[in-house]
Amino acid sequence: MNILTKEKATRLTKIIIFSLIIIACLFSIINNAVALLLGFIYTNIFRSRFLVFNNKIISFLLQLAIIGIGFNLNIKETWAIGQNGFMYIMLFVIFALSIGILLGKTFKVEQKTAHLISSGTAICGGSAIAAIASTINAPKEDISIALSIIFILNAIALLVFPALGYIFNLSEYQFGVWSAIAIHDTSSVVGAAQIYGEEALKIATIIKLVKTLWIVPVAIFSSLLFNGKFHSKKIPWFIMIFVLIIIINSYSPISSIITNSVYTISKSIFVVVLFLVGMNLSVSKIKVVGWKPAVLGISIWFIISTISLIIILNL
């Protein structure tokens, strides 16, 4: 009976702590970086994730929050930002994939693992890895290694990029572009940009979503490279809803009270997402990553981050 009582008490403690952190995220009591760290601490102390379908919930909430951001944008602003960032995105997606393939061979990393890491760095982190993995029939071990590397680098980026932005005296526009290009996952891009400022958040969200659309051509390229099969269900259809919301917000008389409220709630949801992302960063996942894939992931990221920053500072 004592053992059962202790197990129930532990389970109740988990639920209470989890609930309190979620409430703190929703009411902006804690910021993005703290939420991410709390997620990491939570999952490593209790050695289990409270949410069985954590990845699916992260994806749903992230998409919901991004759609909410659309209520604070207009079509002219969005088109201008997306158009200006398109060339940067195209060049860096192709460059990241090329560098990844070249360095993967240099470091003798398994081909599919290298391709997944490169795709995650080039496009949008975990979402790209999931889409490309199904296209090339990647083994679970390769997927796990690639995701672990991306999650770790995302966490580092969220903590480091805003500080670097201030050190290099980047404007909010410059930081929005840089974070969208150089940070892997959409959640960390938005999280870092949200820390930096409102304009940075808008710019980073728009450019990152344009970048996310590259999942489709890269998935098709990957299917040809590895003799796989492209799955249309991996296309990020929620972006179409995001665009529709922007159009509605631009041409219909929606009250500013409503749009501002939705926008504020969306930013709070992003904080919740980062807490859940942090719950995916267990010590066991870090141990799974071998030194060669880790060096590959860090090298691609460092090259893309450095070159993109130099270009943004000079242009």
- For 31-86, write each residue's pLDDT tens digit: 888 888 888 888 888 765 555 456 678 878 888 888 888 888 888 877 877 777 77
More confident residue, 309 or 135: 309
For 92, 265, 284, 299, the CA distances from 19, given in Å and listed in that order, are: 40, 17, 24, 38
More confident residue, 182 or 238: 182
> What average pLDDT does the chain have?
83
**pLDDT of the residue at 304:** 94
Q: Confidence band (pLDDT; 50, 70, 90) for 298?
A: very high
Residue range 247-276: mean pLDDT, rounded: 84
Kindly tell me if the per-residue pLDDT of 1 is higher than 80: no
Query: What is the three-state SS of the chain?
Result: CHHHHHHHHHHHHHHHHHHHHHHHHHCCCCCHHHHHHHHHHHHHHHCCCCCCCHHHHHHHHHHHHHHHHHHHCCHHHHHHHHHHHHHHHHHHHHHHHHHHHHHHHHCCCCHHHHHHHHHHHHCCCHHHHHHHHHHHCCCHHHHHHHHHHHHHHHHHHHHHHHHHHHHCCCCHHHHHHHHHHHCCCHHHHHHHHHHHCHHHHHHHHHHHHHHHCCHHHHHHHHHHHCCCCCCHHHCCCHHHHHHHHHHHHHHCCCCHHHHHHHHHHHHHHHHHHHHHHHCCCCHHHHHHCCHHHHHHHHHHHHHHHHHHHHHHHHC
Q: Report yes or no: 271 and 152 within 8 Å, Cβ to Cβ.
A: no
More confident residue, 180 or 150: 180
**pLDDT of the residue at 177:** 92
More confident residue, 187 or 282: 187
**How many angstroms separate the CA atoms of 258 and 109, rounded?**
50
**How many angstroms separate the CA atoms of 245 and 75, rounded?**
9
- Looking at 107-116, 147-156, 220-229, which range is the least confident one? 220-229
**How many angstroms separate the CA atoms of 203 and 154, rounded?**
19
* Phi and psi torsions of 304, nearest 5°: -65, -45
Closest by alpha carbon to 246, among 64, 74, 62? 74
Residue type, 27: F
Domain ranges of the chain: 2-314
More confident residue, 227 or 52: 227
Joined together, the tokens standing for residue 107 give: 């470091």
Q: Confidence band (pLDDT; 50, 70, 90) for 280?
A: confident
More confident residue, 63 or 174: 174
**pLDDT of the residue at 42:** 87
Q: Confidence band (pLDDT; 50, 70, 90) for 230?
A: low
132-167 residue pLDDT tens: 887 888 887 777 788 888 888 888 898 899 999 999
pTM for this predicted structure: 0.82
